[in-house]
Structure 1
C-alpha cells in the first residue's frame, strides 16, 4: 500500500512550505509511517477533485481519503494508536487550543513579517491567485500589509505562552514532542522555507525548542529545501 500526501510546493517542486502540510509530515514521521509526497500548487484544483476538496494537505491512506491537517492528525491517532499525537478528551482539547493559537495568533504576525518573501517563493503561475485571495482577506495590498518590524514585535508578544510552556519541559508536550509541537512548529517551517528572516533570537527559550524540532526524525525539518537554496530564487 502506498500512502500519499498531497503537499503544497513553490517555485521548485522540492520547496514545500505549507504549515499545514508540515504538521502532517511531522506527524507521519512521529508515527513511523512512510509516505510518498506529491507536489501540488494552488491552481491544481482538478488534482484534488477525487477528495471533493480544494486545499492541501490531503492524505490518501489505502481506501481512506482525509483532508484538513488537524483531522489528519486525529485520523492517524485512531488508525495507528501507537505513539499518540493528540490523545483523547482533555488532551485532545489541549491540542486543539495549540491549533487555534498557531493559526490565529502566530500566523498573522509571521505573515506580516515574511509575506513578500512568501510571494517570491510561490510558483509564478500561482502568484496572481495568491495576491488576489490574500489581499481580499487582508483588506489591503500585500505591500501595505508587509511590515517586518511590526510583525516581529507582534510575534515576540505572541510567543510568551510558548516560553512559559517550555519552562516545564523541552517540548510543548513535555519531555518528548507530540501533536502540540507539530501544530505550532509547522508555522516556523513555513517561514523557514520561504524566508531568511530571523524570527527568534538565539537567546530566546523558543530558539532552543526550534533547534530540537529541526533535528527530529533524522533532521526532517533541518534538511528541507529552502528558497535560499535555489539559485536565483531569493532576492
Structure 2
C-alpha cells in the first residue's frame, strides 16, 4: 500500500523545502516504503486530513494518519519492524530526541536568518503574504531586518557545528557506520537551506559539508532530485 505524504512546497510544487518534510522523505526511503507526495502550501495545511495538524509533514498509511516528523518516524519503525531501523533501539530514539532539539536550537535559527527572504520569494502571492505576516509576528522584526544579520552571524554558526564536526571525524554518519534518523534530522535542516537559498553556509573542505554530500547521495541520490537554489 502506498503511503500518502503531505509535504510543504511553495509556488513550485516540484521543490519541497521543509526541513521536517525532508526528514520523512529520507525516512520513507530508508525503510524502502512507497509513498505518494501531496504537495501542500502553507495556506492549505489547515485542511490536511480534516485539520489533524497545524504543520506538515503528515502521512496517511491506510486508515492511520500521523502528524509530526518525529512521531511519523517512530510510527514507521513500529509499523514496519522488518525493514531497516531508523533508530537502532531505545537508545537511538533518545539520542535522536537530543539531536532534534540541538538542531532546532542551533542550526534552524541561523538558517532562518540566512534564508528568510529566499523562502519568502518561493511563495505565491497569498502564501508570501501569510509567510511575511506570521514570521514577522514571531520574530518581532521585518524579514529584511532579520536577514541583514546573516553575514555577521556566519562565523558563529560555523563554530557552533564543532561538536558535529568533531564526531564526524570518527565515523561517516551521525548514526555510526550507516545513517539513522539522527542523520536525517540534521540533513533536513541543511537541505532546507540548500533548496531555498544560494547563500553559502559551509566551505567544501568542512567535514560537515562532506557528510552532507554523502547524505545527498543516499537512497539513489534522493536529496539531489531537487536542485540547489
* TM-based fold match above 0.5: yes
Name the counterpart of 1:187.
Answer: 189
Name the counterpart of 1:78.
Answer: 78
Once the two structures are TM-superposed, the CA of residue 75 in structure 1 deviates from its matched residue by 0.6
Once the two structures are TM-superposed, the CA of residue 51 in structure 1 deviates from its matched residue by 4.8
Give the TM-score normalised by structure 1: 0.92
Q: What secondary structure does 2:134 align onto?
A: helix
Mapped to 2, the partners of 1:148 and 1:137 lie a distance apart of: 18
Mapped to 2, the partners of 1:225 and 1:23 lie a distance apart of: 17
Give the TM-score normalised by structure 2: 0.94
For this pair of structures, how many residues does the alignment match?
227
Once the two structures are TM-superposed, the CA of residue 170 in structure 1 deviates from its matched residue by 0.7
On the 8 A contact 1:13/1:39 being kept in 2, the answer is yes
Once the two structures are TM-superposed, the CA of residue 50 in structure 1 deviates from its matched residue by 2.1
On the 8 A contact 1:8/1:39 being kept in 2, the answer is yes
Mapped to 1, the partners of 2:39 and 2:17 lie a distance apart of: 11
Mapped to 1, the partners of 2:156 and 2:195 lie a distance apart of: 21
Give RMSD over aligned pairs: 1.4
After superposition, the Cα gap between the structure-2 partners of 1:110 and 1:154, relative to the gap in structure 1 and judged at 3 Å, is: farther
Once the two structures are TM-superposed, the CA of residue 225 in structure 1 deviates from its matched residue by 4.1
Once the two structures are TM-superposed, the CA of residue 48 in structure 1 deviates from its matched residue by 1.2
Mapped to 2, the partners of 1:45 and 1:159 lie a distance apart of: 32
Q: Which runs of 5+ in 2 are unaligned?
A: none
Q: Which runs of 5+ in 1 are unaligned?
A: 229-235
Mapped to 2, the partners of 1:28 and 1:45 lie a distance apart of: 21
Mapped to 1, the partners of 2:112 and 2:54 lie a distance apart of: 22
Q: What secondary structure does 1:20 align onto?
A: helix
Mapped to 2, the partners of 1:13 and 1:124 lie a distance apart of: 15
Mapped to 2, the partners of 1:17 and 1:45 lie a distance apart of: 15
Mapped to 1, the partners of 2:109 and 2:136 lie a distance apart of: 13
Name the counterpart of 2:58.
Answer: 58
Once the two structures are TM-superposed, the CA of residue 2 in structure 1 deviates from its matched residue by 2.6
- More deviation, 112-121/24-33: 112-121
Once the two structures are TM-superposed, the CA of residue 49 in structure 1 deviates from its matched residue by 4.5
Name the counterpart of 1:150.
Answer: 152
Name the counterpart of 1:23.
Answer: 23
Name the counterpart of 1:232.
Answer: none
Mapped to 1, the partners of 2:125 and 2:192 lie a distance apart of: 18
Q: What secondary structure does 1:16 align onto?
A: coil
